[in-house]
Structure 1
């Protein structure tokens, strides 16, 4: 029993259940406004994305603290990885292979979404007048303003990735690079130590995220679009347990054991609806299970921008869904056009606020056959589907890193077997290391 109560997974799961109950039975308290307008500017921590409601504040403050670690960890991991790798040709080879992998797998995700949406047809019978609409002007405006330069400038993670790669390449040619490693390595350990301290508050973030979602939108808002939600979740499951399963099976690695190994991170992503909340911990665990530091440092941050499997599935299904709602028949050529457009536009989905709707708006605008106003149908239930998107993106990037590590012979199977065999022991070791530092 003592072991159960000291297990972070148990507390995150408990927090999610409590958040759902609070949001459903006492939404007034969950949505209670704790900050007056303008109070955010007076806070010392004004750079954080602080929300006004009680529940959203708990979630956003936790995610904001975790975000502080993402860029330093990416910078340190990539820089140290490239310096230790030494062979710059190998850096370019891993990067090119990662981008090819991302394009192939996200295209498969798009096709899976299109096929399932056309088979189940979740948009048939949806009455648009019965669903409360919303303001979509900000999404359509942002869609017309999108550019790849803006995508890069808005995506700090991508900027850090580029800077770290350049610096790593420069330092790898520096005669005193070992001194740089000796300087950066202890800093990296301290950053991860601090991250583990912050992750102890994950249950609070998960509780706030679920309470806010249920309280604001209500379970009853799911009914009109329940078929779409169910279809999205089923499709995500098919992609994870079929496509990603066979990708790992190619190297005789168990998807189930990998998911068990990252179960804490999966629950945190589920509770907060943000893959960012588990990104730093995922990088650490991938190293612990045998992936080399250099591959983890290159693939995970790049995947965060270019390997959004869950997002691409959702985007393809949303377009087909809206076509069905408005009785727009799409022929094979138009469907292939949708896939082609989303292959490009979906890559920018991580760099812009409200990215999913912006990409959808730009896709519908390019097609010119489906009313852009249909986006209003999705506003109310988008939050409920964001958990599936975030988890699928998260798992997809983990699988990509494992596959590329194996393909590059940069994977230690003995570490993986030890990690998979002693998941609970590993979590206790991490806690002991935190307490001893």
Structure 2
């Protein structure tokens, strides 16, 4: 019976796919590189669901909330929270880089600057206008907020809300079917990464890799762990609850792949729908904790490689630049390198050519970035729901404590419908 339950578990198949992809990448790299479309296509299909889910979630949430002042208050608190936490992430990244000094002893003889010019060009072309124009998620969020406010004041809104709820049901049903293909996407993503770059690529910059992963782990369990503890929730319990989504993010190196599932899981543990709909998509663009840590570590790493001792004023300047440029990372292709290039260009102290050192290992570090960003947005949503009295703690205890059956991909039920069904059975 245990074996049958295991083979029906999506997490098991995703983990197995990641291991299989890594093995294929190591032993048959040429074949593994050809698996790249599997990971890319899976992410592309999941992306199709992100904006409809955001639109439906936030529109329904606001139109049924009634208190529009609360919507504005949640949005303002979310942006303040994002700024405070990403600043803490910056400070931790700078502190660890100064203490560990991962760039000491790294040779610049490995520089291959052929691709660096492309990132530098993109960095100089970046503007907030382009960011807003290219970031469809933010556009959908704004439209949903406006429509939700309009519906909340419209007397004949019931038929519209009924229609949107029906659409939501079918969107989630389609998402559940697509997520059954997650092992294939995870296999393709991991096989391509190991096959193209190889484990040997990590050795010259192994100290940087270890520093990045340890720093992000420190941030997750200390900073985010304390925030969750304030909400009376344990970090390990939360990570176990979203383990399937975490493995998908790990296998595909993309937080987008797990975003719809995270929103549903957060609702399933008692976070109010409007809070989830507002915070998660906004955080996807403005609450990039992992990206912020990576950028601060990488900047100081390159300074150490080129034996450049940054003064206190220069470090503060770097942090100020990163606090602005990192906010646009989600809207730019090759975001990590583009933002890093723009930071180095603005500082005019560290050679931009140093980015070539990071090209080979960036894919491996992107997994840590994506997972940290993903966890950070989940924690932000829980915190804001808790402070707004929009978190059902009894539901959270049930979901995280496993006294409630885990959310399954069955019959196209949304998390709210499934929990309602369980509540009805309990009442009987």
TM-score, with length taken from structure 1: 0.93
1:18 equivalent in structure 2: 20
Q: 1:384 aligns with which of 349, 352, 364?
A: 364
- Matching residue of 1:6: 8
Give the aligned partner of residue 240 of structure 2: 260
Separation in 2, partners of 1:259, 1:13: 15
Match of 2:92 in 1: 112
The match for 1:145 is: 125
Give the Cα separation in 1 of the matches to 2:233 and 2:32: 42
Contact 1:133 1:379 in 2 (8 A): no
Residue 432 of structure 1: how far off its partner (Å): 5.6
Whether 2:35 is the aligned partner of 1:55: answer: yes
CA distance in 1, matches of 2:371, 2:352: 27
Cross-structure match for 2:343:
363
- CA displacement at 1:222 relative to structure 2: 0.7
Match of 2:180 among 182, 200, 208: 200
Equivalent residue for 1:214, pick from 194, 207, 210: 194
**1:134 Cα deviation after fit:** 4.1
Q: Hey, what does 1:27 align to over in structure 2?
A: 29
More displaced 10-residue stretch of structure 1: 383-392 or 163-172:
163-172
Superposition deviation, residue 132 in structure 1: 4.7
1:25-424 matches, within 5 Å, as 25-31=27-33, 54-130=34-110, 132-422=112-402
- SS for the counterpart of 2:330 is coil
CA shift, 1:56, in A, is 0.7
Instruction: Please give the root-mean-square deviation of Cα atoms over the aligned residues, in Å.
Output: 1.6
Q: Tell me the SS of whatever aligns to 2:405.
A: helix
2-side partners of 1:408 and 1:337: how far apart? 35
Note the C-alpha offset of 1:358: 0.8
Structure 1 residue 422: deviation in Å? Answer: 2.0
Structure 1: 5+ residue stretches without partners: 32-53
The 2-side partners of 1:278 and 1:100 are apart by 25
Report how far residue 355 of structure 1 moved: 1.0
User: Could you tell me whether the CA contact under 8 Å between 1:134 and 1:379 is conserved in 2?
Assistant: no
| Maintained 8 Å contact 1:140/1:362 | yes
Is the alpha carbon distance of 1:424 and 1:206 closer, same or farther for their aligned partners in structure 2, counting shifts above 3 Å?
farther
SS of structure 1 residue aligned to 2:308: coil
Residues in 1 aligned to 2:386 and 2:373: alpha-carbon distance in whole angstroms: 20
CA deviation map 1:278-328 (0-9, x unaligned)? 000100010000000000000000000000000000001010000000001
Counterpart for residue 423 of structure 2: none
CA contact (8 A) 1:286 1:398 kept: yes
Q: What is the alpha-carbon distance in structure 1 between the residues aligned to residue 7 and residue 316 of structure 2?
A: 52
Count of matched residue positions in the alignment of Structure 1 and Structure 2 = 414
The answer as to whether partners of 1:131 and 1:224 remain within 8 angstroms in 2 is no
SS at match of 1:431: coil
Change (3 A) 1:433 1:355: closer
Aligned to 1:431: 410
Q: Does the 8 Å CA contact 1:202/1:268 hold for their aligned counterparts?
A: yes
State the TM-score, normalized to the length of structure 2. 0.94
Deviations 1:67-114 (A, max 9, x none): 000000000001001101111111110000000000000000011000
Q: Is the 8 A contact 2:89 2:293 kept in 1?
A: yes
